[in-house]
Amino acid sequence: MIGNLNHVGVATPSIAESIKLYRDVLGATKIGEPFDLPAQGVKVCFIDTPTAQIELIEPYDDTSPIIGFLAKNPKGGQHHVCFEVADIHAAVAEMRAKGVTILGTGEPRIGAHGTPVVFLHPKEMGGVLIELMETPKGGH
Ligand SMILES: CC[C@H](C(=O)O)C(=O)SCCNC(=O)CCNC(=O)[C@H](O)C(C)(C)COP(=O)(O)OP(=O)(O)OC[C@H]1O[C@@H](n2cnc3c(N)ncnc32)[C@H](O)[C@@H]1OP(=O)(O)O
Ligand SMILES: [Co+2]
C-alpha cells in the first residue's frame, strides 16, 4: 500500500532558525517559501532533497497539534514520516479493516501538498507518527 517516502516532518519552534541549519550547515539549496496552513495548525516550509523532502513545521497558534510535542521537545525534533498512497480513501478503508486508528475526525483533510492526508497513531505504528498522503494527480 505505501508508496514513495514523500517527506519527513520536523517540528521546530522556529522555521527561520531551522532554515539556517539546513541551508548554512547542511548545504540545502532548494528551500521553499514558508507558508501558513491554519486549517492544520502549522506553518510549513519544504526543503527539497533529490529523493524526498524535509517538512519543517512550526505551530500556527497555541491550538496547534504540535504544541504537546514541542513542550516535550523544546528544541524540536523528528515529528512524523509521510508516505504516498494512490487512493487515500482506499488506504483509510484498509487501515480501518486492519484495526488501525485514524487520528482526528478519521476523515482525510487537505495537507500541505494540496492533497488529502490522514495520520495514524504512533502508538499503533511502532512509536512513529505516520502520515498517509494521496499522491498528487499527474505526479509531482
Ligand atoms: C497536514 C499538514 C502537514 C502535511 O504534511 O500535509 C503536516 O504533516 S502537519 C503535522 C502536524 N499535524 C499532526 O501531527 C496531526 C496528527 N497529530 C496528532 O493528532 C497529535 O500530534 C497526536 C495525537 C499524535 C499526539 O498529540 P499530543 O502530543 O497532544 O498527545 P500526547 O502528548 O498525549 O501523545 C500521545 C502519545 O503519543 C506520543 N506522541 C505524540 N506525538 C508523537 C510523535 N510525533 N511521534 C511519536 N510519538 C508521539 C506521545 O509521546 C504519547 O506517548 P505516551 O507514551 O503516552 O507518552
Ligand atoms: Co507532513
- pLDDT (tens digit, 9 = 90+) per residue, 27-64? 999 999 999 999 999 999 999 999 999 999 999 999 99
Pocket test for ligand 1, best of 78, 80, 100 (most atoms within 8 A of CB): 80
How far apart are alpha carbons 127 and 3 in whole angstroms?
20
Q: What is the pTM of this model?
A: 0.96
Counting from 1 in the atom list of ligand 1, the atom nearest the Cα of 82 is 5
Q: What angle do CA 98, 102, 107 make, to 5 degrees?
A: 120
Distance, CA 138 to ligand 1 centroid (Å)? 30
How far apart are alpha carbons 42 and 64 in whole angstroms?
6
Pocket test for ligand 1, best of 8, 119, 121, 130 (most atoms within 8 A of CB): 119
Task: Provide ipTM, 2 decimals.
Answer: 0.97
Catalytic residues: 131
Residue nearest to atom 12 of ligand 1 (CA): 65
